[in-house]
Structure 1
């Protein structure tokens, strides 16, 4: 799979989701690519399936892996998963709380019958894409 190209495996996985889930995961996918192109130090994104879930990782090493998925056992929602060893979910919970529903230290949940809170998602995805850059600046 070429770098910063949309993976056929992810496209095929998303194609099997119900329409509302497919639309939301596709929108999250587009946001990741759009943000990566516009954030200094991020650059190209590699797409893959991790644990069977669509995943995105900055090739530059600027950030942490982002995963997003819809699951049959929770058919009324989609989720964004982040590395549980980061503070990203804690930041989301404290700074973006009214717009995001967080689960533990690893996931943000979005109901299929509600519009995506795009500004909050963009902020969260930006934090994930620049996580390692931000840590270097704070050190």
Structure 2
């Protein structure tokens, strides 16, 4: 983790940082399982951002103005959030066509989030498939 990313994670409140680190770990674990290649980690719009060669970028953040949620952001011009909404409208809450809202007061639906992240990490291979091949 480079210094800028570390500083961003260290700036999160103590009760938020473990959740953010868990999402980060999940991204790296999935990328390794999928043989997706090197994960590029950087700050985009002051938010941790992750991408692999054949995927679509994923950003994540916590906002003080919405303290009860974490957010996973996806490129708004992809079919990712539209697909997630079709598959998981009963389990997840969305912010427009760009984000999944994760309530901190509920357990992380890890298998669902892992599936969504998998679709993002493999997006360029799946983008022409109905429901991204889900």
TM superposition score normalised by structure 1: 0.87
1:100 maps to 92
1:30 maps to 25
Q: Which one of 57, 70, 74 corresponds to residue 66 of structure 2?
A: 74
Residue correspondence of structure 1 range 94-133 to structure 2 within 5 A: 94-133=86-125
Q: Which one of 8, 13, 17 corresponds to residue 8 of structure 2?
A: 13
Decide whether the 8 Å contact of 1:24 with 1:116 is kept in 2: no
Confirm whether residue 53 of structure 1 aligns to residue 56 of structure 2: no
Decide whether the 8 Å contact of 1:35 with 1:126 is kept in 2: yes
**What is the CA distance between 1:98 and its match in structure 2?**
2.0
1: distance between equivalents of 2:34 and 2:102? 25
2: distance between equivalents of 1:85 and 1:49? 20
Decide whether the 8 Å contact of 1:21 with 1:77 is kept in 2: no
Decide whether the 8 Å contact of 2:79 with 2:127 is kept in 1: no
Q: List gaps (5 residues or longer) in structure 1.
A: 1-5
Task: Extract structure 1 runs of 4+ deviating beyond 3 A.
Answer: none
Q: List gaps (5 residues or longer) in structure 2.
A: none
Q: How many residues align?
A: 130
